[in-house]
Structure 1
Amino acid sequence: MIGHEVLRVFCGPDGRHGNELGVVRDGAAVPGRAERQAVARELGFSETVFVDDPGRGEIDIYTPSVRLPFAGHPCVGAAWLLGVEQLVTAAGVVAVRHEDGLTRIEARPEWAPGRTLRQYGSVAEVEALEVPPPGEWIYAWAWQDEAAGTVRARAFPGRGDGIDEDEATGAAALLLAARLGRALTITQGRGSQLMAGPRPGGLVEVGGRVVPVEVQPAPPRAEGARRCRKGEARE
């Protein structure tokens, strides 16, 4: 298995919950899209990030089944891990700010993958939902306190790739804040927390807390494999 780090992104105020993210810092070790897709499938996270240039913040994002030009929780997690002021994604440059223990990104709503935003009449209705069959990507939400801008949400990717429910989904939070045109504090999944809201220039910001979980080092290569790589580099 490739060496990678695991983060929990959009943790609650107590540091619990959050959506796990796999990050392969040595993106050069997995150079092709097919190879990266296979690694993302093997790791099994809702998203895996490959870092192509840590100084520039250049990243590449995959679910177990598809490559994504942009996604929220991978960008927030990668920005926290790399400590950069911007990220370079396939969709475009993503501004980053770090403040009061939160990592926030700014992106355009049109960069976010398509989501069906489905409003329910109460928090209880959202919490009682069963996982729907594979199909459309559903972001189910209800107001906890509309005046305060607090929302209860759950996310059902509907992809059929083993991810029945996403614990915390930055792109969907971004789309919801864009639709409602106001700042939101969203509790999603078991207790993850996301902050989102409009920014100047048609941008939307989304952010939250990030906690490291573990580092899985790459297994050492056999001596013969190292010699082969060196021989290939000389050709």
Structure 2
Amino acid sequence: MTDYDVLRVFCAANGGYGNELGVVRDGSVLPDREDRQALAAKLGFSETVFVDDPERGAVDIYTPTLRLPFAGHPCVGTAWLLDVPELVTPAGVVGARLDGEFSWIEALPEWVPPRTLRQYADAAEVDALPVPPPGEWIYAWAWEDESAGRVRARAFPGRDDGIDEDEATGAAALLLTDRLGRALNITQGRGSQILTAPQPYGWVEIGGRVFLEGPEKQPRSAGY
């Protein structure tokens, strides 16, 4: 059996919404990348994290179809779960901290794969968008209240892996924060909340609420 935890990351104030995340705390049970990729595909979360060293915070992140050097909501959720001051990702060392109900990480925009940040006239236009065909990774956004830094957003990964829309995406929020150069309060998907803030030397903080749904077990089968 492969044990894993299920978290919801970037939840709303009432504990609802958030993007689901699978975390395999003992990555040694699946040391091979092919097996990890197969499990990530089988679980079907937008990302699944394998923890290779819980004390150092060394992690390995997968979508259902590919391995990522860095991703926002997996790092926010895993840092909260492990309660560590940093995570070690292939992209670099991610700072982490807890502040009341929010879990925060600090990362660099250059760690994020290319995303198309597409601005719309208002939140209603973003709400009405259909899911685009696979191809381009699109972060659709509009101001809800520009003076207050409130943003409405939706994320379309453009992958042919069953994830048509991501409920909450920290990496895309990081890129938007870097572009706009200001702190943001983002409502994404059906109602998830992402907070961001620029930091010195190009770093960006991303924060949100994390809830533990519970531990699960994935039966071993061919390839696991």
Q: TM-score range by the shorter chain?
A: over 0.9
- The residue aligned with 1:115 is 115
Name whichever of 208-217 and 40-49 sits farther off: 208-217
Secondary structure in 2 matching 1:114: coil
Query: Alpha-carbon deviation of 1:218?
Result: 5.3
Matched, 1:91 2:95: no
Cα offset for 1:52?
Answer: 0.3
Q: Secondary structure at the match of 1:147?
A: helix
Give the corresponding residue for 1:67. 67
- Work out the CA distance in 2 between the residues paired with 1:50 and 1:213: 17
Q: Structure 1: 5+ residue runs without aligned partners? A: 222-235
Which is worse superposed, 135-144 or 210-219?
210-219
Cα distance in 2 for partners of 1:134, 1:163 equals 10
The code of the aligned residue for 2:20 comes to E
**CA 3–198 in structure 1, closer or farther in 2 if over 3 Å, else same:** same
Query: What is the identity percentage for the equivalent residue pairs of Structure 1 and Structure 2?
Result: 68
In the alignment, the residues of structure 1 paired with residue 114 and residue 218 of structure 2 have an alpha-carbon distance, to the nearest angstrom, of 34
Give 1:170 deviation, angstroms.
0.3
Task: Indicate the residue corresponding to 2:195 in structure 1.
Answer: 195
User: CA distance change for structure 1 residues 220 and 156 in 2, over 3 Å: closer, same or farther?
Assistant: closer
Say if 1:154 and 1:166, in contact at 8 Å, map to a contact too: yes
1:54 matched to which residue of 2?
A: 54
- Which amino acid letter does the alignment assign opposite residue 3 of structure 1? D
Secondary structure of the corresponding residue to residue 205 of structure 1 = strand
Map of 1:132 onto structure 2: 132
Contact 1:23 1:51 in 2 (8 A): yes
Corresponding residue of 1:153: 153
Give ranges in structure 2 of 5+ residues lacking alignment: none
| Mapped partners of 1:203, 1:131: distance in 2 | 31
Give the drift of 1:209: 0.2
Q: Give aligned pairs, total.
A: 221
- Which residue matches 1:4? 4
Maintained 8 Å contact 2:3/2:24: yes
Equivalents in 2 of 1:22, 1:37: separation in Å? 13
For 2:141 and 2:220, the matched residues in 1 are separated by 46
Question: Are the counterparts in 2 of residues 156 and 166 from structure 1 also a CA contact under 8 Å?
Answer: yes
Mapped to 1, the partners of 2:181 and 2:136 lie a distance apart of: 24
Amino acid at match of 2:152: R
Runs of 4+ with >2 A deviation: 217-221
Does the 8 Å contact 2:2/2:220 carry over to 1? no
Question: Partner residue of 1:179?
Answer: 179
Residue deviations 1:19-69, cap 9 Å, x none? 000000110000011111111001100000000000111100000011000
Partners of 2:197 and 2:205 within 8 A in 1: yes
SS in 2 for 1:178: helix
Root-mean-square deviation (CA, aligned residues, Å) is: 1.2
TM-superposed deviation, 1:2: 2.3
TM-score normalized with structure 2 length: 0.96
- The residue identity in structure 2 corresponding to 1:154 is R
